[in-house]
DNA sequence: ATTTACAATATGA
DNA sequence: TCATATTGTAAAT
C-alpha cells in the first residue's frame, strides 16, 4: 500500500494506493506519511487524484478520475458508491432516493451505512447525499467539509 | 444463527 | 419539535 499527500489550500490530504488504483483518501489532520517518490503507475494516478481534488475544492466538475479500488467494500456498498458517482456536481439526493434507485426501498439507512464506509470521500461524492428534507446526516471527515463542499458546488449551479 | 448499531424516514402526538 | 416503529446492511457475539 502506497501513500502520498495532496497539498491544497484547505490542507494536506492523504491518498492511499493499492495495485489496482486509489483505494482511500483521508482528510487533512491525519499524520502525514513520510514523503517519497511513488513507483509507477501510482505516480500517474496520484497526478489525476491531485487534479480531481483540486477541482472539487474549487467547486468544479471533475474531469478525470484515477482508477478506484473499491475491492474492500461489500457488493452492496460498491453498488452504492457507484450510484453516488452518478450524482451530477452541484446536486444532492436523499438517502431514500439512492436506496430506491438500487431497488431497495426502505434501505435508506443501509445507504447511509455504506456512505459512512466509503473509503474515498470527495471523489466518491458522499457529500452530495443528504436527508430527505435537505438536512445533513453525517460525514466521515466532519460535517464542516460537507457543508463547505455543498455550498461550493451548489453556488456554482445557480 | 442472533443481536446490535447505523450518516434514514414516515407518522402521530 | 420530539418520540416511536419500521427498514436493509454490516459487524460483533
Chain centroid offset of residue A21 CA: 14
What confidence tens digit (pLDDT) does each residue in A28-73 have? 998 999 989 999 999 999 999 999 999 999 999 999 999 999 999 9
The reply to whether the CB atom of residue A111 sits less than 7 A from any atom in nucleic acid chain B is yes
A85 is catalytic: no
A93-94 and A129-130 strand pairing: parallel
Which pTM value belongs to this model? 0.93
Average pLDDT, chain A: 94
A77-100 per-position pLDDT tens digit: 999 999 999 999 999 999 999 999
- Spacing of A44 CA from B7 C1' in Å: 32
A112: which nucleotide lies closest, measuring CA to C1'? B7
Cα–Cα distance between A35 and A63 in angstroms, integer?
27
List of residues 6+ apart from A144 with CB closer than 8 A: none
Where on strand B do bases come within 7 A of a protein Cβ? Answer: 5-10
If phi > 0 it is left, if psi is from -120 to 50 it is alpha, else beta; for residue A4 that is beta
Amino acid at each position: 500500500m502506497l501513500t502520498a499527500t495532496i497539498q491544497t489550500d484547505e490542507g494536506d490530504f492523504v491518498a492511499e494506493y493499492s495495485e489496482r488504483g486509489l483505494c482511500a483518501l483521508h482528510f487533512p489532520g491525519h499524520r502525514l506519511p513520510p514523503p517519497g517518490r511513488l513507483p509507477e503507475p501510482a505516480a500517474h494516478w496520484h497526478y489525476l487524484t491531485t487534479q480531481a481534488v483540486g477541482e472539487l475544492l474549487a467547486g468544479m466538475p471533475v474531469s478525470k478520475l484515477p482508477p478506484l479500488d473499491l475491492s474492500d467494500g461489500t457488493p452492496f456498498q460498491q453498488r452504492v458508491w457507484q450510484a453516488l458517482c452518478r450524482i451530477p456536481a452541484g446536486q444532492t439526493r436523499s438517502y431514500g432516493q439512492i436506496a430506491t434507485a438500487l431497488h431497495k426501498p426502505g434501505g435508506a439507512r443501509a445507504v447511509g451505512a455504506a456512505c459512512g464506509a466509503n473509503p474515498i470521500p470527495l471523489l466518491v461524492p458522499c457529500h452530495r447525499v443528504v436527508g430527505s428534507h435537505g438536512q445533513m446526516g453525517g460525514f466521515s471527515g466532519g460535517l464542516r467539509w460537507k457543508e463547505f463542499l455543498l455550498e461550493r458546488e451548489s453556488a456554482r449551479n445557480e
